Structure 1
Amino acid sequence: MSSQSRIAELSAVVAAHTHLIDTYLAENALPYPSFEADGPTELGLPAELEESRALVLQATQELNDLLQTPRDLLYNHHHNRLLYMKAIYRFDIAHQVPLDGEITYRDLAAIVGVDSAALSRILRLGIAYRIFREPHPGVIAHSPASRSIAEDSGISDWMGANTHELWPAAEKTVEALIKWPGATEPNQAGFSLAKGTNDPYLKELSKDPEKARRFGGAMSFFISGPKFSPNHLTDNYPWATLNSVVDVGGSHGDMAFALARKYPNLHITVQDLPTVVASAKKENGLNVQFMGHDFFEEQPIKNADVYLYRWVLHDWPDKYCVKILRALIPALKHGARVIVMEAVLPPFGVIPNDMERNLRAMDISMLELSNAKERDLDEWKTLFQEADPRFIFQGVKQPSGSNLAIIELAWEG
């Protein structure tokens, strides 16, 4: 048994692994992390040092939590941490601040048409969380985080979806549970109360092309990180042996494009609601087609080799997932594969706490939007059997570094 305290153990982890990272950056003449505007957005670390980075982040989080009092841990949950994000998005602050310069709060407030004192107070809370900088009193300039908002439309879309859809939905989730304690209908969630709608959130968003575009852009950004990389799917299934794939609920086609680049002989059709498909940007030279389709209706493409549901079913409560899968059945040929790529929840407390927080946060996001959820493996198997016993579970694969697992079903009808 170690004679060290937990805080000493954690500090040793931080020291050892930051030394490895620091040495690598120095030996390869790579820029060090910085909060200055020209600080790197990626460190360019090899896989073994990405593991070191993860260990440092996990250790510093636990160390930070341990050295606070229980009162501090509770106090840290400030109710207004999304306020500055909403202001930055709504007033397009990232594009109003010069990329390689600075601007006074007074001049910035005049451009966006709000009170200078109020704006500076809101933005300074963001600056305290490393979004923008105040290089000298009364002046605002970019940090790497705010510069990323200006330069990456996907990040901007993610901010907009978080502050205009997810935040209001979260705020109304408890009230929704009081009004509809069963929590089984997609139009009886926090989002429903926040938006005053009787439609599920995806249908509600589809009524406004700009909101649909923004949400699609937000999802494209979210899955652009390494934990949601398309490579986890393209590299871990025998796509080269197939001819046709239907990407059901494939949004703007990011997954389909990745498959088509690596397997040009695949015939891929992306299906989603017409408003979503209308805002998708096709890529020339790739064997990808788009089709408007409601996946609750009978599948119109018959006899495809694979029907793919990537990060789709977690958007819906169980009985609606059953309906989605049953709508597929008339199109299936014997031996057809259904690939479901989703999170498979581990038992609580067996993974590092930072990963646990992210998984549970995603699970609650599904609850607040549509009474949907993330599922463990037994819940997935039960769902497939309820849809039809002829869906035969073939196995699950968790690609290294992926937040999503590949679940394979065979149709034996």
Structure 2
Amino acid sequence: MELEEPGDKIDRLVFQPEEDAILRVALDLCIYGILAQQDAAMTTGEVAKEAKADPVLMARILRNLAAFGHIDEVGADKFQANKFSRAFTTTKGISLAKFSFDFAAPAWRAIPAYLKSVQYMNPTDAMDAPVQQAFKSDKHFFGLLVETGILETFQTAMSFYREGRPEFLDIFPAEERLINGYDSSQGHDGVLLVDVGGGHGHDIQKFVEKIPAREGRLVLQDQEDVISQVSKSDVMEVMVHDFFTPQPLKGARAYYFRMIFHDWPDEQCLLILKHITPAMKPGYSKLLINDIVLPDVGASRFATQSDINMLALLAAMERSEAQWRQLLERAGLRVTKVWQGVPESVIEAEVAE
């Protein structure tokens, strides 16, 4: 971006919402899919016929998409798919784009007015965030997903969120830090890993694949409506549990949270942690938090954008290492190591002595 002139940057940023709008129209008309199905370039008329749209309008849309780099303009009135347009034929690309444009973007646009209305204080109440102003509702983010009919799209987008990114076990050396030192004297009752709020068990499944030889139970916990959708498995147990209530499994080797805490302001995070700490065995149990850790200098564009997204949707935040340490200390925990990853890291903590 250093080669970009200031005037060009202004134009790019000011007109960014227009690119987003044309992207959304292209998804509605299946333009990316139409072009991707053909090996040869297509004319405006051919795309318009497939999409059932006016050719004059289609020409304007295709010109924009080509200028944005979404598709290739290979000749006069000749357009072809490229790797970027093919990305928007995938479930991940389609669901993320629709969720962002239809739900998140209105909340982002509400940020300036919202912050002005609260005199530029950092938001800490998930029931009073930009998203409530955007949709003129008093419902929490998750309730708004249902109310707006975007829940299924959001769930699909989140299920593909980690596609192409490092997994938990690519960052954290589980053999060294969990398997070694596991108390096998507990017999069949011993718990190796509790995945708290773990959705459909993706991370436990990856754990089993990477570490097939191990002792101890693997337990998936989540809300009843999530657990009811999880298929029975010989390798993991499922348990209905609300992490805002006391943790019923005591003395597990590890309690694991993936991308949970960035959804909540500090006080709610502290409540979750204070329900975990009493269940942990000092000197043995580990708390593992797989989440974004902002560096002191040079935070990535993705991480900083995620931080503002959390502000808009949940009055929550991405945290720096210092903020993580402070939060965990308030719950009677101490950080033993931060295993750095991109964009997510793994924070390892134990009960403070």
Show the counterpart of 2:108: 170
**Is contact 2:103–2:150 with CA below 8 Å preserved after alignment?**
no
| Normalised TM-score (structure 2) | 0.81
Root-mean-square deviation (CA, aligned residues, Å) is 3.0
Q: Superposed, which structure 2 residues align to 1:331-350 within 5 Å? A: 331-334=279-282, 335-348=284-297
The CA distance in 2 between the partners of 1:219 and 1:305, in whole Å, is 28
What are the Cα deviations for residues 276-298 of structure 1, in whole angstroms up to 9, with x where unaligned? 55666x5x877234445432233
| Cross-structure match for 1:267 | 217
Letter of the aligned partner of 1:344 in structure 2? V
Q: Corresponding residue for 2:161?
A: 222
Q: 1:157 to 1:302 in 2, by over 3 A?
A: farther
Tell me, which stretches of 5 or more residues in structure 2 are unaligned?
183-190
Give 1 or 2: higher strand fraction.
Answer: 2
Paired AA for residue 397 in structure 1: W
Residues in 2 aligned to 1:279 and 1:135: alpha-carbon distance in whole angstroms:
47
Please say if 1:308 is aligned against 2:256: yes
1-structure distance, mates of 2:229, 2:156? 10
DSSP-derived class of the 2:300 partner:
helix
Task: List per-residue Cα deviations over 1:39-65 (Å, max 9, x = no partner).
Answer: xxxxxxxxxxxxxxxxxxxxxx33x23
Could you tell me which of 44, 64, 73 is aligned with 2:9? 73
One-letter amino acid matched to 2:254: V
Distance 1:140 1:271, change over 3 A: farther
1:96-245 matches, within 5 Å, as 96-101=34-39, 102-109=41-48, 111-150=50-89, 152-181=90-119, 182=121, 183-205=123-145, 211-226=150-165, 228-235=166-173, 238-241=177-180, 242=182, 243-245=191-193
Q: How many residues are treated as equivalent by the alignment?
A: 335
Q: Give the distance between the partners of 1:192 and 1:366, measured in 2 at CA.
A: 13
Please give the alpha-carbon distance, in whole angstroms, between the structure 1 residues aligned to 2:102 and 2:223. 21
- What SS class does the counterpart of residue 407 from structure 1 fall into? strand
Instruction: Return the offset for 1:131.
Output: 1.4
The verdict on how the C-alpha distance between 1:286 and 1:74 changes in structure 2, with shifts beyond 3 A counting, is farther
Q: Which SS does the other structure have where 2:85 is aligned?
A: helix
Distance 1:153 1:137, change over 3 A: same
How many angstroms does 1:103 deviate by?
A: 4.6
2:130 and 2:18 mapped to 1: Cα distance? 18
8 Å CA contact 2:172, 2:346 repeated in 1: no
Give 1:121 shift.
2.3
Partner of 1:368: 312
Tell me the CA shift for residue 262 of structure 1.
Answer: 1.1
2:25 is aligned with 1:87: yes
Deviations 1:105-147 (A, max 9, x none): 4454455555443344234322222212333444543111212
1: CA distance, partners of 2:160 / 2:203 = 12
CA contact (8 A) 1:149 1:156 kept: yes
How far off its partner does 1:338 sit?
Answer: 1.0
Residue 267 of structure 1 contacts residue 288 of structure 1 at CA under 8 Å; is this kept in 2? Answer: yes
**Paired residue type of 2:130:** G
Cα separation, partners in 2 of 1:403 and 1:129, compared to 1, 3 Å? same
- CA drift of 1:339 comes to 0.8
Show CA shifts across 1:136-194 (max 9, x none). Answer: 444543111212332x3222222222222222221111122233444111122222222
Quick one: distance in 2 between partners of 1:97 and 1:293? 46
Identity %: 24
Question: How far is the alpha carbon of 1:315 from its aligned partner?
Answer: 1.6
Q: C-alpha offsets along residues 377-411 of structure 1, whole Å, 9 cap, x if unaligned?
A: 2211211122x22x233222224xx3222211213
The equivalent residue for 1:408 is 348
SS of 1:81's equivalent in the other structure is helix
The Cα of 1:212 is off from its aligned counterpart by 3.4
Code of the residue aligned with 1:345 in structure 2: it is: L
Aligned to 1:15: none
The 1:230/1:214 distance shift into structure 2, 3 A limit, reads farther
Please list every run of 5 or more consecutive structure 1 residues that lacks an aligned counterpart in the other structure.
Answer: 1-60
Q: Hey, what does 2:340 align to over in structure 1?
A: 398
